[in-house]
Amino acid sequence: MIIPAIDLIEGDVVRLYQGDYNQKTTFDLSPLAQLKSYQDQGANWLHIVDLTGAKDPNARQTQLIAELVNGLSANIQVGGGIRAEAQVAELLEIGVKRIVIGSLAVKEPALVQSWFKKYGPEAICLALDVNINDKGEKVVAVSGWQTGGGKSLESLVEAFKPYGLKHALVTDISRDGTLQGANTSLYQEIASLYPEINWQASGGIASLDDVAAVRDSGANGIIIGKALLIENFNVTQAIACWPTTPGDKDVS
């Protein structure tokens, strides 16, 4: 499944290079118009990252997100700075279909596990943003990728499997925003280890060949941000590259 994405800082559509707020590109685009274009081209799910909220949870762009949800018919997945249950409840109340939880799953797993029990595994997607070290260990980063969490991807998956973990978004930080291609070997490995989980791939997508490579890796969906913004290809072309067949698992 193709999942177009936009990142937002103070209402602007932006892209960061490897999660660095000091390496930001701002696009002169309306967030709603851009997402509506993706929807009109056939996207059933859209991904929004509140980078303002990720940096300062007290400055979350909830009102803007509500306006976007109200203006769209596609399913919306939102991440960035989720730190408290009140924020989860608020986003679900305004019509967001799935909440992406990153740092908190590393720092306070018991709290996030309680949300799985209360809201159900369909409502939560774990964001596992990894730095892969020289030993090949997939260390999950926290706090907007500024620090390492000290936990491996595998250990977090095992911690949440008993709570029904179904959706996980995995980003190789070294690829994000670089347009250097996705880390398909990473997705092959985790899809093989945990076939029951719907894996969303993210980071490095530059071309339709990259989309096809992720499709063949065993991932169930792909987040595409920068490549669409700079018009390397469009959503219609990406969907044509990743057709849905009756046997496919769906991230929905």
| Count of Cβ atoms closer than 10 Å to residue 215 Cβ | 22
15 with 226: CB under 8 angstroms? yes
Question: Tokens at residue 175, please?
Answer: 């690829």
C-alpha distances in Å from residue 184, one per residue of 119, 138, 141, 217, 230: 31, 14, 19, 6, 22
Q: Give the amino acid at 181.
A: G
CA 176 to chain centre: 11
Burial bucket for residue 209 (CB in 10 Å: 0-12, 13-18, 19+): exposed
Q: Say if CB 3 and CB 200 are below 8 A apart.
A: yes
Ramachandran angles phi, psi of 35, nearest 5°: -65, -35
Which residues are known to be catalytic? Answer: 7, 129
Contact 78, 48 (CB under 8 A): yes
Tokens 């019509």 sit at which residue?
Answer: 95
